[in-house]
Amino acid sequence: MKKIIEVELKTRSAALAECKTQMLAIGHFSDGKKPLPEIIELCKKLGGAIEQVVKLGDFKGKTGTSALIYGNNHIGAQRVLIVGLGEQKEATIDTIRQAAALAANKAVGMKAKTMAVALHRAFGAKFEPGLLAQAMAEGIYYGSFRYDEYITSDEDGRTDSLVVEVIDDNAAKTKQLEDGLFKGAIIGKAQSYARALANRPGNVINPPSLAAEAKKLARNTKGLSCTVLDEKQLAKLGMGGILAVGSGSKTPPRLIIVKYSPKGKASKLPTVAFVGKAITFDSGGISIKPAQNMEQMKLDKTGGITVLAAAKAAAELKLPVNLMAIVPSAENMPSGTSYRPGDIVTTYSGKTVEIQNTDAEGRMILCDALHYAVKQNCDVIIDVATLTGACVVALGTFMAGLMGNNEQLNKDLEEAAKTSGEKVWQLPCGDDYAEEMKSKIADLKNSGGRWGGACTAAAFLRQFVGDKKWAHLDIAGVDCFEKPTASAAEGASAFGVRLLTTYLMNLTGGKKRK
Ligand code: BES
Ligand code: MN
Ligand code: ZN
């Protein structure tokens, strides 16, 4: 089986024109004023080729676009890729992340094994060098990622490694750039880990094999430990929600708990719980889904995988926080042993739920996991789930739905969304919506009326967090790319890995909280 492309990141202080590399990536704002002297130098050596692409209007500097110019014997690079950065005043830290992803995507597409990157130079002093480097590193991992571990033919002959040098002639910035690259590489690797695992199909990843992956992750990552509850232990604890959803499948459900605590200081630090939905395949169960696009439902485990990857990043960054990644996992299948519409399920919290639709299974596994988190005495709970089609209708494929019971927590997540480039939008989940989830014959039902499905689902979850600070991210619309984009291969997006890691970095003093 093919391994994912390995990325190596370094810094180098050199002049652009001298860089020996298979591809040199530079940035260009659409309203760019006078270019940097070293870019002018590069232009000269290229004999006016860069000016020509701009003059002809072939390249306007818009985001998501680029122009390729071939090198000559006056410069060291075989190719120069000019990447559009859009309007200068609109630029955010995500602009450079996306530009770096585009460049890495192109490099892999051209089978380049080496790339030199100077994208950050165009940004001047707008952002700290460390932040720019971190975002570039994240982007480079993102754009170079391919999911092809099951492709046995080698027609394409893709490279298996990409060595990237970040070029700056100001040696005083090197330390900051290196620190940023170090952080960005950790987050980038966590993203790639999540994307590879999430893309694996339902015949490979089921609850027990996902649990084995989590155990392996904990074994291979300093600071992590992993506990797995099997179906017998779930029954003993009374986790009726997880058991009901898993009852139709040959592969039994699991509750996976991955813990991280920094060495020695655990007792003084806050404890955060990330809860992630991991339905390894969602057929809908007895309330079966239509055949069209059902194969996409192998991605119904992305919430769970995101929180595992965030735990990996937190441990490798050695963040001063206690973290618990809690992942309820089941396969939702129709069979003679499945749970049925009309069933009344007693959940871990003791609350009873009337099943109206077996396809509303995410909330049934999450309610047990959320109650488990509450019992663990954590300070904050954030859950991540591909929970509702309604959220996709409301927000499309660009932003995750953010719901919760604490204004400060929502704000902190919005702040993290800004830097991480993983966008969120607040939706309500208050009492009006909770009213919709009341059953006549049980405490709750698992499906509300026709309207506001993302909000009623969140209002259901809210019943299980007591008075804990809680936020819920509905990632149903952002968990994958249906088609390849300028900066990403199609398939799982690992949405939330950057967002959650950034949230933790901000919380633990990386940045002042407002
Ligand atoms: N996993 C789905 C939600 C989903 C839909 C994710 C589309 C990604 C893309 C979830 O389990 C589901 O089936 N939700 C139902 C709930 C309904 C039955 C109340 C839905 O949204 O239709
Ligand atoms: Mn479903
Ligand atoms: Zn689902």
Q: Are residues 243 and 113 in the same domain?
A: no
Position 273 in a domain: yes
CA distance 497 to 200: 18
The DSSP secondary-structure symbol of 295 reads G
Position 203 in a domain: no
What is residue 511's predicted lDDT score, i.e. its pLDDT?
Answer: 46
**Which atom, in ligand 1's list, is nearest to the CA of 362?**
11
Q: Is 232 a catalytic residue?
A: no
Domain final position from 178, 195, 212: 195
Q: Are residues 52 and 172 in the same domain?
A: yes
CATH classification at residue 32? 3.40.220.10
* CB-ligand 1 contact for 422 (6 Å cutoff): no
Centre of ligand 3 to C-alpha 251, Å, is 17
Return the percent helix, strand and coil in the chain, to nearest 5.
40, 20, 40
Asked whether the beta carbons of 110 and 80 are under 8 A apart, the reply is no
CATH classification at residue 455? 3.40.630.10
Q: Are residues 430 and 492 in the same domain?
A: yes
- For residue 16, what are the CA distances in angstroms to 20, 34, 51, 82, 114? 9, 17, 17, 13, 15
Q: Are residues 189 and 115 in the same domain?
A: yes
Judge if pTM exceeds 0.75.
Answer: yes
Position 424 in a domain: yes
Residue nearest to atom 17 of ligand 1 (CA): 360
CA distance 276 to 23: 39
Q: Is 236 a catalytic residue?
A: no
The parent domain of residue 347 ranges over 225-507
Position 314 in a domain: yes
Distance of CA 410 to the CA centre of its chain: 18
In three-state secondary structure terms, 320 is coil
Q: Are residues 443 and 341 in the same domain?
A: yes
CA distance 208 to 365: 15
Pocket probe mutation, ligand 1, options 387, 456, 461, max atoms within 8 Å of Cβ: 387
Centre of ligand 2 to C-alpha 59, Å, is 44
Centre of ligand 3 to C-alpha 392, Å, is 13
What is residue 169's predicted lDDT score, i.e. its pLDDT?
Answer: 85
Position 208 in a domain: no
Q: Are residues 381 and 454 in the same domain?
A: yes
Asked whether the beta carbons of 171 and 124 are under 8 A apart, the reply is no
* CB-ligand 1 contact for 282 (6 Å cutoff): yes
* CB-ligand 1 contact for 361 (6 Å cutoff): yes
**Catalytic-role residue among 289, 340, 418, 468:** 289
* CB-ligand 1 contact for 300 (6 Å cutoff): yes
What is residue 33's predicted lDDT score, i.e. its pLDDT?
Answer: 73
Centre of ligand 2 to C-alpha 244, Å, is 13
Question: Tokens representing 230?
Answer: 């099997």
* CB-ligand 1 contact for 249 (6 Å cutoff): no
What is residue 24's predicted lDDT score, i.e. its pLDDT?
Answer: 97
Centre of ligand 2 to C-alpha 128, Å, is 43
Q: With the CA atoms of 137, 143, 144 and 150 taken in that order, what torsion angle do they form, in degrees rounded to the nearest 10?
A: 130
* CB-ligand 1 contact for 455 (6 Å cutoff): no
Domain final position from 157, 179, 195: 195
- In sequence order, the 6+-apart residues with CB closer than 8 A to the CB of 227 are 256, 257, 259
Q: Are strands 278-282 and 322-332 parallel, antiparallel or unpaired?
A: parallel
What is residue 154's predicted lDDT score, i.e. its pLDDT?
Answer: 75
Q: Are residues 229 and 190 in the same domain?
A: no
Q: Are residues 175 and 239 in the same domain?
A: no
**Which atom, in ligand 1's list, is nearest to the CA of 448?**
19
Average pLDDT across each block of 10 residues of the chain; the chain has 514 residues. List them in order. 91 92 96 80 90 90 96 95 96 98 97 97 93 98 96 82 94 93 98 98 98 98 98 98 98 98 85 99 98 97 98 98 98 98 98 98 98 96 98 98 98 98 98 98 95 98 98 98 96 98 90 42
Question: Tokens representing 418?
Answer: 């800004």
* CB-ligand 1 contact for 456 (6 Å cutoff): no
* CB-ligand 1 contact for 359 (6 Å cutoff): yes
Q: Are residues 178 and 233 in the same domain?
A: no
**Which atom, in ligand 1's list, is nearest to the CA of 447?**
19
Question: Tokens representing 65?
Answer: 């676009």
Position 409 in a domain: yes
Position 211 in a domain: no
Residue nearest to atom 14 of ligand 1 (CA): 388
What is residue 449's predicted lDDT score, i.e. its pLDDT?
Answer: 86
Structural domains counted in the chain: 2
Q: Are residues 184 and 315 in the same domain?
A: no
- The dihedral sign for the CA sequence 231, 235, 239, 243: positive
Q: Are residues 329 and 261 in the same domain?
A: yes
Position 123 in a domain: yes
* CB-ligand 1 contact for 316 (6 Å cutoff): no
Pocket probe mutation, ligand 1, options 277, 353, 358, 359, max atoms within 8 Å of Cβ: 359
Q: Are residues 191 and 235 in the same domain?
A: no
Domain final position from 156, 174, 195: 195
Q: What are the phi and psi torsion angles at 399 (to 5°)?
A: -140, 150
What is residue 510's predicted lDDT score, i.e. its pLDDT?
Answer: 52
